[in-house]
Amino acid sequence: MALLKALVIGMGVLIVAGTVTLVALIVQRAGGDSGTMPPRALGQPAGTRIVSVAGAEGRLAVLVARPDGSERVLLVDGRSGRVVGELRAAE
């Protein structure tokens, strides 16, 4: 009888420990990334200045002023930090 009692208590502890571990893993994986963008270069010439930044549907619109006096809007992907598009006035 004592052996059966010890087995039941041991299995109960294992069930509780397994449940706690499972919940901890689900919470950890559901947390996802912290939302920070990795540091990236925009691939613009030296002397380029960032004038402004605005969010647009999961992307960032970055207005840059280049050393030659032209301005461009770079569309940067919010997850990868890659430049996915560029808008500029007709040259």
What DSSP line would sit under 26-44, residue for residue?
HHHHHT---SPPPP----P
Task: State pTM to two decimals.
Answer: 0.56
pLDDT tens-digit profile of 10-56?
A: 999 999 999 999 999 998 888 766 666 567 788 888 999 999 999 87
On whether the CB atoms of residues 40 and 61 are closer than 8 A, the answer is: no
Q: What is the pLDDT of residue 41?
A: 81
Tell me the residue length of the chain.
91
Among 14-23, 29-38, 61-70, 76-85, which range has the highest average pLDDT?
14-23
pLDDT tens-digit profile of 2-21?
A: 999 999 999 999 999 999 99
